[in-house]
């Protein structure tokens, strides 16, 4: 079930909210928790009832391991639990990838398993590994099985994050939070949900056909003209931005309707002045998880410059592989690892200060943002392409090195490119000039770690800033119009597309 589907909007959310508010009125804390668990399991089982069994087994086993580690402080149990979770993830997500590559390099003929990837397995696996680690470290919040279960399966964040830690949500699963400012929480939540729905249905899905056409032809082996290559790369850069941004807004909004604040997971990453800053703003909870549970355990920056760069590379490559069982994701991760190494090297030499002094802060920041965006767009090509050769065709086209284009094949894409470039300018204005959704509702603490957002905004400038949202007739009318446009677009679509991060 998709957040942007009519089934979710009309059939799922209304009864879930009605029963929640009834139980809230009755002050029945346990009832609310179990109702949200049941609703979350229905939400997950809508996609695949058989995989619901896997989710429940994972929750039950990991809670048992948690109780045992809590009692014995057994490091061996932590290792076994971590390995078991990773082995399960590896089987479902990477078994065919490993078999296929083994066959390729050894000429073996082992049959592929054709394992169906369970929805959200990467997210709930990482959450439960972090919970076991926090248990062993003595940092876990005391909880019963019901709260642990809701921590894992809470449907606003179950499918594509954010990757929440136990300290984020378990302390909020109590009656005082559920009962606090119900009208305001619902108003903030529905505002974020409508904005996110518009981003997904109108903006992301609106630009997606261009990316699909260009990358589809490139993966089919067609050489790509320069304009078409840039159109495809730019279109996908906007598509994944608004797709993921829309999902994050909707996840924050749905959770807030129940009074729950989730961690900030998306903070205008295309406004970043460096790749380092980009990864502090894009999929923030994944970046934090990889830093805390992979980069730091590998040694971080504590064992010299060379070891630091090796750790960065390993972390980003594994982060790329986390997104999918494909060499394209490995290359994408390796590229970002290389970009981070260059960025850290640039900073260690003190060159940013030199640039600011000679170019002025404004000019330097514009150039830094442009260079960062070029690197991000280039890497997205490998993230989106289905094959390495397809990504290569796009890259070659972007640099103007491709020749012998089939004009007939590209006629539909290049017949009238004016509307695409106008659309791109409008999307760029939203990305670079307007405040993001969380900034719009900034007066009402839309995310757990909202102070970090305020810190990131320090010293930033935007050409036009919306006034902060507040419950009012004017804002209600504007949001009604945005929501209506989104619903009309849903009715017009032949079929809904999944959020991109549902595939990971």
Q: Kindly list the catalytic residues.
A: 323
DSSP β-bridge partners for residue 80? none
Cβ neighbours of 41 (radius 10 Å): 19
Work out the burial of residue 311: count CB atoms within 10 Å of its CB; fewer than 13 is exposed, 13-18 middle, 19 or more buried.
buried
* Euclidean distance between CA atoms 8 and 348, whole angstroms: 50
Count of positions (residues) in the chain? 504
**Residue 493 and residue 205 in contact, taking contact as beta carbons nearer than 8 Å:** yes
Residue 391 CA to chain centroid, in angstroms?
Answer: 22
DSSP 266: B
Cα radius of gyration (the chain): 23
Token code pair at residue 135: 């248990």
Q: How far is CA 327 from CA 33, 91, 151, 217, 379, in A?
A: 41, 17, 33, 19, 13
266 has which bridge partners? 282
**Residue the block writes with tokens 């000429």:** 107
Half-sphere exposure of 282 (CA within 13 A, CB side): 22
Q: Which of 140, 137, 136 is nearest to 169 (CA)?
A: 140
CA–CA separation, 409 and 218 (whole Å): 11
Return the number of other C-beta atoms located less than 10 Å from residue 297's C-beta.
10
Compute CA 381 distance to the chain's CA centroid, rounded to the nearest angstrom. Answer: 17
Encode burial over 145-156: b for 16+ CB neighbours within 10 A, e otherwise. Answer: eebbbbbbbbbb
């Amino acid at each position: 079930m998709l957040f942007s589907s009519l089934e979710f909007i009309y059939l799922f959310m209304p009864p879930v909210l009605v029963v929640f508010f009834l139980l809230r009125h009755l002050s029945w804390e346990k009832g609310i928790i179990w109702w949200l668990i049941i609703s979350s399991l229905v939400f997950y089982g809508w996609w695949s009832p058989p995989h619901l069994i896997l989710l429940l087994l994972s929750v039950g086993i990991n809670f048992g391991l948690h109780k045992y580690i809590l009692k014995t402080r057994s490091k061996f149990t932590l290792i076994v639990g971590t390995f078991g979770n990773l082995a399960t993830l590896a089987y479902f997500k990477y078994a065919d990838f490993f078999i296929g590559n083994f066959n390729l390099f050894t000429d073996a003929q082992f049959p592929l398993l054709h394992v169906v990837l369970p929805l959200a397995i990467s997210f709930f696996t990482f959450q439960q590994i972090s919970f076991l680690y926090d248990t062993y470290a003595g940092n876990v919040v005391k909880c019963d099985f019901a709260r642990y279960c809701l921590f894992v399966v809470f449907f606003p964040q179950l499918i594509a994050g954010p990757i929440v830690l136990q300290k984020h949500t378990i302390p909020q699963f109590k009656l005082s939070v559920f009962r606090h400012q119900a009208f305001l929480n619902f108003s903030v939540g529905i505002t974020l949900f409508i904005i996110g729905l518009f981003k997904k249905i109108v903006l992301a899905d609106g630009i997606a056909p261009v990316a699909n056409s260009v990358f589809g032809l490139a993966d089919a082996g067609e050489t790509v003209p320069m304009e078409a290559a840039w159109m495809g790369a730019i279109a996908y850069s906007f598509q994944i931005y608004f797709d993921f941004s829309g999902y994050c807004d909707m996840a924050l909004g749905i959770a807030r309707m129940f009074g729950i604040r989730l961690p900030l997971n998306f903070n205008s990453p295309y406004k970043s002045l460096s790749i380092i800053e980009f990864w502090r703003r894009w999929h923030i909870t994944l970046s934090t998880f990889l830093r805390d549970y992979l980069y730091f355990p590998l040694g971080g920056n504590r064992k010299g410059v060379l070891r630091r760069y090796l750790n960065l590379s390993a972390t980003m490559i594994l982060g790329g592989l986390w997104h999918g069982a494909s060499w394209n994701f490995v290359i994408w991760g390796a590229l970002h690892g290389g970009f981070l190494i260059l960025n850290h090297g640039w900073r260690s030499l003190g060159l940013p200060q030199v640039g600011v002094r000679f170019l002025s802060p404004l000019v330097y920041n514009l150039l830094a943002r442009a260079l960062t965006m070029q690197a991000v767009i280039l890497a997205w090509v490998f993230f989106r392409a289905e094959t390495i050769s397809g990504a290569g065709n796009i890259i070659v086209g972007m640099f103007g090195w491709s020749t012998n284009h089939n004009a007939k094949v590209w006629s539909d894409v290049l017949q009238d490119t004016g509307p695409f470039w106008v659309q791109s300018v409008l999307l760029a204005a939203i990305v670079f000039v307007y405040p993001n959704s969380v900034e719009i509702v900034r007066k009402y603490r839309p995310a757990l770690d909202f102070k970090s957002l305020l810190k990131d905004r320090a010293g930033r400038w935007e050409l036009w800033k919306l006034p902060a949202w507040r419950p009012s007739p004017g804002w209600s009318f504007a949001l009604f119009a945005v929501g209506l446009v989104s619903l009309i677009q849903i009715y017009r679509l032949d079929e809904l597309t999944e959020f991109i991060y549902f595939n990971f």
